Amino acid sequence: MRAQAILGAASDRVRLQAAAWAERRQGPDPADLVLRRQRIYILPSRFGIVYGLLVFAMVLGAMNYASSMGFALAFLLTGLGLVTMHHCHNNLLGVQIRFTGAAPVFAGQSCRFHIMLKNHSRAERCELQLHSEDFTSPPQDLAAGEMRKVAIEIPASRRGRVRLHRVTISSRFPGNLFRAWSWLHMNADCIVYPRPAARGRPLPLAGPIGGSQGTGKHGDADFAGLREAVEGDPPQHIAWKAYARNEELLTKQFAGGEQRAQWLDFDALKGLDTEQRLSQLTRWCLDATDAGCAFGLNLPGTQIPLGAGRSQLHACLKALALYEGGARS
């Protein structure tokens, strides 16, 4: 077991050094590229090494016994191996790889980097696989001119920016005697939002846009439905009839009337560390969007103006994800 671990560590070190050399040789790749012959590498697989040793043993046996049939079989298998090597290398030739984006996720979820594969040749490309860190995609077969999207998943445990620095595309077709591959360095990234805090802390008091802060009234606003009540909801908005029927505490929501404006302030969350503040602000951004409120965000050194809708939500969540300061007492 110790020898196996040492051998595995040495193999990983050699592979990383080879990948670093290839990156220096090729340079950074664009988000859209076509594989050319000079950047496709090939080596025998484990099965191919065993195959080569068996052919070599057959040659030695044929020499020892002067067997013409043994020589014929050994040379036939050698020719078969060379043809397999040629087809394995060509199986990646002319494949187009294009990074098509990665939707933002919350911390604790997995980033999904979408890669588009297209076969520009007139021959079928078989058993193509994408690798990145611990992720390996299922084998993909591409007919002539076919295009297919593959998603590479990488766990995102922390907020910020997750980069897909290196991707390997490989194939062992045909025969699994050789492995042909190419390294891709696209520098694709995915934004990871902070993990939302649990529900319970109410939104700050809101005021009308262009007016003073205050709780305000709904006035002639139309009833829009019910939601689960949280601490801090006004008692007059509690749906007491619904509570009497099913003992579930719900709050009335209204649409129309005077639009409310929420300012979400990092410095207003005293007693919490930086990550807890960012998580709570994330929860408030989601709650304000669900309630249809306009809201803005105040971070040390950054301010997102008042706005509403999904674009405002993503702008605020991105600012929270990329925030690099600390909590101020």
Per-residue pLDDT of 5-30, as tens digits, reads 676 667 667 777 777 777 677 777 88
Per-chain mean pLDDT for the chain: 83
Is the entire prediction scored with pTM above 0.75? no
pLDDT at 319 over 90: yes
Would you say 215 and 275 are in contact if contact means Cβ atoms under 8 Å apart? no
pLDDT at 179 over 90: yes
Token pair belonging to 29: 């790749």
Would you say 278 and 192 are in contact if contact means Cβ atoms under 8 Å apart? no
Mean of the pLDDT values across residues 48-73? 93
Token pair belonging to 149: 């999207």
pLDDT at 177 over 70: yes
**Which residue in the block uniquely carries the two structure tokens 């529900």?**
199
The residue ranking higher by pLDDT, 96 or 214, is: 96
Task: Give the pairing of strands 167-171 and 125-132.
Answer: antiparallel
Spatial separation of the C-alpha atoms in residues 128 and 170, rounded to whole Å: 6
Show the domains of the chain with their CATH numbers.
10-193 (2.60.40.10), 207-321 (no CATH)
Confidence of residue 205 (pLDDT cuts 50, 70, 90): low
Alpha carbon distances (Å) from 201 to 197, 230, 261, 269, 304: 9, 7, 18, 11, 22
CA torsion through residues 79, 81, 82, 83, sign: positive
